[in-house]
Amino acid sequence: MKNKQTIIVVGGGFAGINLVKKLDEKLFDVILIDKLNHHQFQPLFYQVATSQIEPASISFPLRHIFRNKKNVRIRLAEISQVDIVHNKITTSIGDFEYDYLVLALGCKTNFFGNKGISEYALTLKTTYEAISIRNHILQIFEDIISANEQEKESLLNMVIVGAGPTGVELAGAFAEIKKNMLPKDYPRIDFSKLKIILIEGSKDTLNSMSGLAKTASHDYLQKMGVEIQTETLVTNYDGEILQLNNGNIIKAKTLIWTAGVTANTVQGLPDGWFTSGNRIKVNRINQIPESENIFVIGDMSLIETPKYPKGHPQLANVAINQANNLAHNLKKIIQGKKPVDYEYTDLGTMATIGRNKAVVDLPFFSFKGFFAWIIWMFLHLMLILSVRNKLIIFINWAWAYISKDTALRLILKDNK
């Protein structure tokens, strides 16, 4: 038997990088495969999209993260197939053999089968998409200056679909730059006509959070001038006209879709392994029951437990904890010891709506306002990977708080 086991980890998100960090270097050789060369800090994508922080502040090159781990090889590639019989995967740069395979491919945007929306809507699942939204929004304001009155209506309507944390945070951030920043940059535009419209299919904003969070987020957004339409579904969009299930239409050049996710998939796995939302059902150690050496962690995985009979929420904390638990369990498996079942301890959820405005749900109580906002900022700073980036983001936030402005409104795209 060879000295070390080869583990292939596919995906450099929260689950993948935390697993690789914790794996025992003496027992495992690791191949980390991702189509991007960096880890993306998704909770702050909306701040890149709204010109509040630079993309480099929340993007971490994988080779830099693991520069001191001699047992880790990084390959920039896209997985296309898993061969579960011969223990190998096929990628865009060739085949790789494994002793253990860990899939941590995360999620993608769910358009619920609507091709029109998928073609024309903007999404926020990658750093690149955050930059695309920033480019698009800033270009919209440049276009408004020279547009005739008939064209201006669709340019001045910004629609966000989905009032979960991402949608609420985006709407709040746009409301703040509409009030504090854009009038200074574009003094000839009447920003009282700019509408930020938040559409949600359920009864409430932040529908998965507490009653206090639902009420507070709705009130905050309304006071900030956001138009909220709940119990409303978008049925189609052609890049110009948004059609709603109540028969109404909205003219809008901007539609940002944050209304759901579905797990990424890979060819070669039996159809019976997949469950709702394309997630793969795994046991309490994140192992596919029908396989001894394939594991799934993070947003792709679905573990049914007494506390979470429908699976755990698709959150960074869940992914990180699953990764840490699996790293310990893989060592136990190699050593012939009994692995430890995973159980998620919910420490709470939170969302920020804007300056001094946030909501926090802890297991035993909920709160809102300035203190909640401070807690939100502190915990997000702690999750940022490097000390340097923590400092950069803190300085950015401090300056933006004092000045109510940033100087990051760059349109970065190919003019060809």
3-state secondary structure of 99: coil
Rounded CA separation 339/332 (Å):
6
Give yes or no for a contact between 277 and 262, defined as CB atoms under 8 angstroms apart. Answer: yes
Domains of the chain: 5-109+261-334 (3.50.50.60), 115-259 (3.50.50.100)
Show the tokens assigned to 130: 């955050």
Give yes or no for a contact between 266 and 105, defined as CB atoms under 8 angstroms apart. Answer: yes
Q: What is the pTM of this model?
A: 0.92
Q: What's the pLDDT at 385?
A: 84
Rounded CA separation 287/281 (Å):
9
Rounded CA separation 217/222 (Å):
9
Q: What's the pLDDT at 337?
A: 94
Q: Taking residues 312-338, what's their average pLDDT?
A: 94
Count the neighbouring beta carbons within 10 Å of the beta carbon of residue 183: 16
pLDDT reading at 206 higher than 90 = yes
Instruction: For the sheet with 195-199, list strands across it.
Output: 227-229, 195-199, 157-161, 254-257
274 DSSP assignment: B
Q: What's the pLDDT at 395?
A: 87
203 DSSP assignment: S
pLDDT reading at 116 higher than 90 = no
372 vs 307, residue with greater confidence: 372
Rounded CA separation 293/338 (Å):
15
Residues 6+ apart with CB under 8 A from 233: 199, 201, 244, 245
* Amino acid in the structure at residue 322: Q
Give yes or no for a contact between 175 and 226, defined as CB atoms under 8 angstroms apart. Answer: yes
Q: Taking residues 115-120, what's their average pLDDT?
A: 92
Helical spans, DSSP H, in 226-368: 316-334
pLDDT reading at 244 higher than 80 = yes
pLDDT reading at 207 higher than 50 = yes
Q: Taking residues 205-211, what's their average pLDDT?
A: 94
Rounded CA separation 90/152 (Å):
49
pLDDT reading at 221 higher than 80 = yes
Show the tokens assigned to 109: 């945007």
159: closest CA among 258, 64, 11, 231?
258
pLDDT reading at 1 higher than 60 = no
Instruction: For the sheet with 79-83, list strands across it.
Output: 79-83, 88-91, 94-97
Highest mean pLDDT of the ranges 69-78, 139-148, 186-195, 268-277: 69-78
3-state secondary structure of 198: strand
Rounded CA separation 242/235 (Å):
8
pLDDT reading at 5 higher than 70 = yes
pLDDT in tens, 39-48: 999 999 999 9
Give yes or no for a contact between 135 and 413, defined as CB atoms under 8 angstroms apart. Answer: yes
φ, ψ of residue 375 to 5 degrees: the values are -60, -45
Name the band, by pLDDT with cuts 50, 70 and 90, for residue 32: very high
Give yes or no for a contact between 106 and 300, defined as CB atoms under 8 angstroms apart. Answer: yes
Q: Which of 92-101, 185-194, 249-258, 274-283 has the lowest mean pLDDT?
A: 185-194
Q: In Å, what is the CA distance from 74 to each residue of 267, 326, 328? A: 22, 20, 22
Q: In Å, what is the CA distance from 155 to each residue of 66, 116, 135, 227? A: 45, 19, 14, 16
Burial letters for 250-274: b for 16+ Cβ neighbours within 10 Å, e otherwise?
bbbbbbbbbbebbbbebeebeeebb
Rounded CA separation 157/164 (Å):
20
pLDDT reading at 411 higher than 80 = no
Instruction: For the sheet with 357-361, list strands across it.
Output: 349-354, 357-361, 366-368
Q: What's the pLDDT at 408?
A: 65
